[in-house]
Structures are given as C-alpha cells and as structure tokens.
Structure 1
Amino acid sequence: MANPPTKTSSLHILLGFFLALSGVGWIQEAKSLGINYGQVGNNLPPPEKVLELLRSLKLSKARIYDTNPEILASFANSNVELIVTVENGMLATLMDPNQALQWVQTRIKPYYPATKITEIAVGNEVYTGDDTTLISYLVPAMVSIHSALSRLGLDQFIKVSTPNNLAVLEESFPPSAGSFRPELAAVMPQFLQFLAATKAPFWINAYPYFAYKDSPNKIPIDYVLFNPNPGMVDPNTRLHYDNMLYAQVDAVIFAMARLGFGGIEVRVSETGWPSRGDVNEVGATLQNAAVYNRNILKRQMRNEGTPLRPNARLEIYVFALFNEDMKPGPTSERNYGLFQPDGTMAYNVGLSTLSTTSSTSTSTSASSSSPALISLTSAATKVRKRGYSSLPYSIFIYLLGFQVFMRRQC
C-alpha cells in the first residue's frame, strides 16, 4: 500500500500530470477499435473467412501473434490495419542488425503495402516473463528492426513497440501514483526513449477481470464492467474515474511522466472478459463478458479518452476474436472469444448495429446497486498464461493496493 503523499511527492505528481497532458496533440490519430486474432486452436476458420468476418463487423484493425504468411497474403488489399508480432524466442537473433534486416526483408517487405502492416510488436510481455535474459534483448532488437525498416524506407509507415503486462507497474492506484517496478529502472528509460524518438505507442495488456476475480467482495462489479457507478476520485488530481480500465491506462501515463516521458501515447493491446471459467474463476460468465465488451464498444463509438487525456480517443484491441481450444491454463483462457470457431457468436456485443444503438452503458443483473460512498481495500492478483510465445510465462501479480473513497461525480 502506498504511503500518503508528502508535499514533495504531490508536486511530482502534479508535474507528471501536466507532462502527461502535453502529449495529447498527436494521439488523436487513434481512430477505431481493434481485435486480437489468435490462432491457438485446431478448428479455426481459414484467414480468408476471418477477413470476411472482420469486414462484416466493420472492424478495420487486427493484431496477430506472429507473421503467418497465409494471413498476411489473405489480408492483402483488404484495408485492414494489421499488427504483426516477433515471437519472444526471436529476440536474441534480431538484436543483430543484419538478422533484423533479413527478417524484415522476408517477413514484412514482400507483403507491404498490399497488406496494411502498421506496427510490429516485438515480443509479448517481455518485462514480466520468466526468462529475464529477454529483458536485455528487447530494446536492441527493437532498434535493429526499426533500423531495418528505415533502410527499406518503411519506418514512417510501420511503428515498432512491444505489448506490456500491467505488472510492469509497481503502483497503479490511485492513477497519479503510477510508477514502474524498481527492477525495471535500468531498462525502462531506454525503452521509453525509443518510443519517444520513433513516436511509437506504449502498449499495455490490461484486464480488470483479474482484479475483480481475486476480490469480488471488495471491487464493485459495475466499476470493472463500465456500468453506471459512483466511480472514484484520484485524491491528487481530483480526476473522476468511472471504470478500472481507464484508471489503469492513466497509471501508465503517470509512470512514464515520472521518468520524463509525458508525451507518449498509451494504447490497450489486450483487454477482454472470459465468458466461461473454472469454479474458482469468479465473474467469468457469458453475461459479464457481453456487458464488458459491449460497453467498451459503446465507449469507442463516443470517441472517449481517459480522464487524464479526455480529448484523445483511447485505442483498444479487444481480446479476442475467437475462442481458442488449444490454449493452456484454466478454462477462461479458452473462452475469451467474441465468436466460436465456426463463426457463430459466443454472445452478442452488437458490433454490426453498434452505430445505431444508445450510448448508455449496459446494465447487468449480476451487479447490485452501489452506494454513494464506497471504501475499498483490495489486493488483486493477475494470473494469466499466454499461449502465443515460444517461451512460457510466469504468473503475473498485479497489486492494486486500494485504499480510497469512491463517490459520485459532481
């Protein structure tokens, strides 16, 4: 739990607040919702059918977890913006500029620009993985890949970044207390300097579901589902938050501002809610999944930003397009999809009719009426295995350390 802020720390927080606000100008280019298209299943439709589905849903942004040539070829001339991924096991090799150039020449250049590759995700959740040697490989690999793109004249069109687990934060609540873990102190400034120099975004995988699962009696369900609720007020900035995801994103912005990087855009590379889980996976229900994702879609249609950057729409990639039957881990891992592999909806989030629906948040019978004043003290543990890297991931701990009052927005 964080200590009460001193006068000096409050000044630092306010400085970070204004530094963070300084970066809103160019962030406004983020303009639509994206979807994570995973492939860890033995019954998934072929890429051309996936493209038809994305078109029918009017989704124009997708992220894949490799550089699958079949997908890259199938998405040619589709105008779908695609984020591709360098597997974690490739980082050591791609530190070498020559190897990186060869990789870009064989994995990217043959498909671009017919396939609208907009970003390269170098690794996935490297800073919180089991193999700590990868941490020292990450930024050099990113630099080498960016240099290769530059040599081929592609660096102005394809950005390079990496998705981070929210566990990179030591403190995340209240958002103004956001700070990175001390063990990342030596590498995080390098990473942020690269993002600032190349105008690339900071990607974060953020799942309010895990916070609720671990403390369902302390964290209001409506707060994590984006339903109407009293919300909470950051005691240092007086900004009001009516959902946990926006609070998590702003905590990342404050953490970067503390290191002198206040103008970097934050995007959500993964967020979602499982429609099914094991007995101990509280909240993993079809109803909650539908409500969470439907409310996110409605927020996107309203061009919302976070309280810290209200005029810059937050770009979000929902996890995931399909339920994937070969993913390891608890039942929830195989049930994040909006769709079943056969193309039928796992539940209806209203994608095809969203533009004509009301922007009012969807309620859920699983929630109860929230009092005007709520005192929270909670420790939320994030446990999630990733099925997309060639290396295993550890159990990630996301500690919220809540001790705040929540009240209604004036």
Structure 2
Amino acid sequence: MATRLSLYLLCHVLLTAIAAAGDGKIGICHGRVGGNLPPPEAAAALLLQNGVTRARLFLPDPPVLRAFAAAGIDLVVGVPNENLTFLAASGPDGAARWLSSAVLAHAPAERVRYLAVGNEVLYGDRFYAASIVPAKRNLHAALAGMGLDGVVRVSSAHASSVLAASYPPSAGAFDAEALPVLRPMLRFLADTGAPFMVNTYPFISYVNDPANVELAYGLFGAAAAPVQDGALVYTNLFDATVDALVAALEKEGFGGVQVAVTETGWPTAGHPAAMPENAAAYNAEIVGRAARGVGTPRRPGVPVEVFLFDMYDEDGKPGAEFERHFGIFRADGSKAYDINLA
C-alpha cells in the first residue's frame, strides 16, 4: 500500500509539473462578494460547460470547496490575510490542524493545486507582511508531514505594485521596502518549486495614468505603439508587466522562479473604457495566448498560467463602480459578452 501511494504521489507531482509548465489552460476567479450569486454547484457546472477546469477561490468556503472539488475542478485556495498571524505563530502542527479542518476536510488534496497564502499583503498598510513567510513555511511543513508537499504548492498573490520600476520591462525591480519580506519568500518559492503569483490589470493602469498608458496597448490592440526594450519588442501591457516581474526576479537571483497571473480581467461598466466589447477583446486575447502557449518576449514559449477575474459581477465590492463589473457570466448563467473560454 505504501509503495502504491508513493507511486501515485510521484505520478501526480510529475503530471502537475507538466501541466503547470505547458498546458496553458485558463482558470477563473470565483469571488463571493455579492448578494445575488448562484449556488456553488451551479457555478461549478457552468465552468465545466464552458471548458474551464481551474478556479481560484479567495476563501476556503466549505460549500464552494465541496462543490468545485466534486466537479473535478482544480483549485487555487486562498488563505485569508486574517489567518496569517495565527499560522505564522502556530508552527507546523497548528498549520496542519488549520489545513485539515479548513481545506482538506472539504476538498481532497488532489484537487488543490496551490494554497495562495494571503492576497496583496505587501500592498497598503502591510500589517500582515511579517507573518506571510513564516505562515507559508508552516503550511509547507504541514503538507510535507502529510506527504503532500509535492502535490500542493504554497505561494502568495501580490499586487503588481510590488514592483517599484516596470518601464521598460528590463528595468523591472521590486519595491525596496518590500525586499526584507520578498527575499526570503523568493528563496522559499525557489526551494519548493512554487510560482510567484501576481494580480495585474492593464485596465487599472490605463485608468490611473491615461496620459502615458495607451488604451490600445492595454487591450492588445493592433494599433498600439510598440515599446522597444533592447532587442525585445512589446506590443501590450500584459506582456510588459509580466516581463518586468521576470526582470525583477532575475535581479534578485531567482530567474528560475515561474510567474502565474492569479487575477487579470477587464470590466464591462463603470468607466468609459469599461464596456463589453473591450472586456471581450482583452479576455479573448488572454485565453488565446494561454491556449497557444506563446509566453512573453523575455520568456518565449513558456506559458503563463492565468486566472481571469471574475466569474460573476460582485455587487458588494467596495471602491470605484467598475470594481463591481468584472463578471464574465451573468447570474442566470448567460455570458456577459461573446467569448470562448475552452
């Protein structure tokens, strides 16, 4: 039995690594900050109907975990920021108890591809910054104790503002104030084979700086003025942002760490540039690039794993009006715009 289990885990690790490196599948974020959202069973069925077999959950919500796992959907499971202090202080045993009760009691390990430990912790007041690396280490040690450290990877999702410099992409560099946290985190990612996760929104870059960010450049538009960066040419902001992050990783000596985009998307309302036509154009290009495995100019042919935001509009989200209009699907299951996600 032990030999059979070891062989199963080895095969799963190899298949997971191959999938992460090369199949270019798209995932979708399933946010829950809304008052009119369909039940999780309906959401899981809708994803499968549209050829999507990966999802990011921001919370380990038991009904959602059970429904998505039962449907065979592979998951990025968020570890909420407010849990980080406990997980950092509790040691591997406390982390194992949390992991068992909050996640594995509701979804089998073979459905959990990643734990995303904290979301954008290095953005804003950074209250949880000191806890993020110890929490990750404890969770990884807990997984190792269960024989799952090669099955479930441990990472964290960061805002793209973790970069202090991003133009041109080759000048990419991390925020110096974040480096005391980032450097041990990058060592952890390199040692465990987990990707650096980033949330990036060309739409928001355009909204914040329309004088310098061309709308067509954010939308993969053919009319966008290209950016020459040494021998490389950039025709869109998505590639430029990912490669600025790659350049920052290389500067810190961690050029082998892969990049996963855990949120990106385009809203359909709430701003003059937020319309279904633009959302369809942006997201269709993201899906097509993932399917083709084109990579980026700095890493050609290396697919970037991407999770589109968001499955539904979330009417409870704070902030600007456009924050509540990223949904790809309406609550009745129809599409907000024409897009093929398969």
Between the aligned partners of 1:231 and 1:77, the Cα distance in structure 2 is 46
Q: How does 1:19-98 map to 2 (within 5 A)?
A: 28-29=21-22, 31-95=24-88, 96-97=90-91, 98=93
Q: Does 1:290 align with 2:284?
A: no
| SS of match in other structure, 2:239 | helix
Aligned pair partner of 2:145 in 134, 141, 151: 151
Q: Does 1:320 align with 2:310?
A: yes
| SS of match in other structure, 2:119 | coil
Q: CA deviation at 1:112?
A: 4.4
Between the aligned partners of 2:240 and 2:338, the Cα distance in structure 1 is 26
Amino acid at match of 1:148: A
What is residue 301 of structure 1 aligned with on the other side? 291
Q: CA deviation at 1:222?
A: 1.9
What is residue 251 of structure 1 aligned with on the other side? 244
| SS of match in other structure, 1:290 | helix
Aligned pair partner of 1:186 in 180, 196, 214: 180
| SS of match in other structure, 1:141 | helix
Percent identity, aligned pairs only? 39
Change (3 A) 1:284 1:192: same
- How many residue pairs end up in the alignment? 324
| SS of match in other structure, 1:204 | strand
Aligned pair partner of 2:117 in 110, 116, 122: 122
| SS of match in other structure, 1:186 | helix
Aligned pair partner of 2:205 in 211, 217, 224: 211
Q: CA deviation at 1:350?
A: 2.7
Q: CA deviation at 1:329?
A: 1.4
What is residue 107 of structure 1 aligned with on the other side? 102
Task: Give RMSD over aligned pairs.
Answer: 1.9
Amino acid at match of 2:134: P
Amino acid at match of 2:332: D
Instruction: Identify the structure with the greater helix proportion.
Output: 2
Aligned pair partner of 1:160 in 140, 154, 157: 154
Could you state the TM-score of these two structures normalised by the residue count of structure 1? 0.75
Between the aligned partners of 2:329 and 2:225, the Cα distance in structure 1 is 31
Q: CA deviation at 1:210?
A: 1.4
Amino acid at match of 1:64: L
- Residues 27, 265 of structure 1: 8 Å contact kept: no
Aligned pair partner of 1:228 in 222, 225, 228: 222
Q: CA deviation at 1:233?
A: 3.9
Change (3 A) 1:349 1:123: same
Q: Does 1:140 align with 2:130?
A: no
Structure 2 unaligned residues grouped into runs of 5+: 1-17
Q: Does 1:332 align with 2:322?
A: yes
Change (3 A) 1:27 1:114: closer
What is residue 402 of structure 1 aligned with on the other side? none
Q: CA deviation at 1:60?
A: 0.9
Q: CA deviation at 1:129?
A: 2.8
Structure 1 unaligned residues grouped into runs of 5+: 1-24, 355-410
Q: Which of the two has higher C-alpha Rg?
A: 1
